[in-house]
Structure 1
Amino acid sequence: MEKIATNFNTEITYIREGQGIPVILIHGLDGNMASMFSLKDALKHSFDVIIYDVRGHGKSTKTNAFQLDDHVDDLYTLMSKLEIPAAHIIGHDMGGVIAKHFSDEYESMVLSLTLIACDLVESVHGLNRLMVEHQDEIEGFDKHEALILLMPYMYKDSENAKKWLQHQFIYSRQSSEDSAIAARALMGFPVFEKNIEIKHTSIPTLIINGEHDPLVTQETVEEYRNAFTSVHVQSFSQSGHAPHIEEPQHFLEVLTSYIKSITTMQNIKLTE
């Protein structure tokens, strides 16, 4: 586990393992890089894998305020200091929003995007709605406890998801204040202005969602499908909000196959 300094005395904690084409994994809101440990271990035999705690999460610096652009700057600094000119970037939940926004700013540094259970339209509002719908069940509990109670609604394989969440809590537990700061940063994303469309991109994009995910519906995916020139959508029938955890083998097969296909196409273009 290492750290790099970014702007305003902020440090980002990361792990880098494996060798090959760089792959960067970005965790979700209120999570940390422990959520990506199993995927990192599966990919490191074929790729140069980097996972990290985004600003305000895990063991990276927690500040009183920051914005989504700070997440983008942190990723740029991480890649620059690790001498990674371009990578396949994979984001879960909030990590997908960061990945998409980063690709809008630094297209040449992104070989492909993979968005896992990521709502580019409403982001944190999906979870807020779910909490309101089940407010009688979670009344009196803090956010972390509420998430555990809501697991049967958020995940198809809630038992495996519970272990996954507990591993993240053991690594680092987010305070209520840090959670609120992180959510406010994410809500600064321009798509909350309903008259602003998601920026169009030609970067090859893989979208993976779980059919049982109440936070990211098929209707939501259709709302931003047209933002991608090259997009491949996969729906996992036995997953909720964490397809990479609920169907890990299926996810690994889909992801590695996609990255290999993108690599082959890019190599062909280089030789033309």
Structure 2
Amino acid sequence: MLTTQLVEYLNQQLNVASIKDYCPNGLQVEGKPEVNHIITGVTASQQLIDAAIAAKADAVLVHHGYFWKGEGEAIVGMKKRRIASLLHHDINLLAYHLPIDIHPLWGNNVQLGHLLGLDNMRPLAGIAPEGIVYTGSANMSLAQLGTTVANALGRELVVCEGAADKTLQKVAWCTGGGQSFIEQAALAGCDAFISGEVSEQTIHVAREMDIAFIAAGHHATERYGVKSVGEHLSAEFGLQVSFIDIDNPA
């Protein structure tokens, strides 16, 4: 498949043109003109790039790429080494941030909801972009929800905060660094909120607004969107696609 065709297809399917983000979505580093083998992963770290080189991949597809708003523009140090590795081995780097978070089929939020077995999933109304926060139905205690999340993600929770004797009916979640949405979730009548990260003020909001809170790891909650996109590409175009999980406890 031509690289240009792959980029055009993903840009269209992920609705890149209509999503305002703080990094460029799409092709970030140009490599081979044709792609047959793709490595997918959460972040374009040196370890993931080295794995792609070892696998003789033509492209790396990630959720967290480069060139974030506000970061230093000089290509030096770690950034230089990463980009030099890609260029030297002629490997394309494709990155999609918010488009992978919010996609209604392959998005991080949808995929996490499916993984947790939640019912009646839908975007939480009134929060832009649509799909950045999802809600679903549950009927369990905080301990049961915490165990479900920990088992699904295969790791210990970062935080599990809330009343032990309350039955949770409506759960909201935002993968990655979505802890700031906890107040909107509480105002929408949710009993629990799940995110990847926790901030100091998150716990105070949870306690004062009587909403249970689980932080399960930024990386752990965002493995499944880019993995799902890769699986779709493999099924749709017969490309060789491998997801590599470079573990990160954060």
Q: Larger Cα Rg: Structure 1 or Structure 2?
A: 2
Greater helix content: 1
The answer to whether TM tops 0.5 is no
> TM-score, normalized by length of structure 1?
0.24
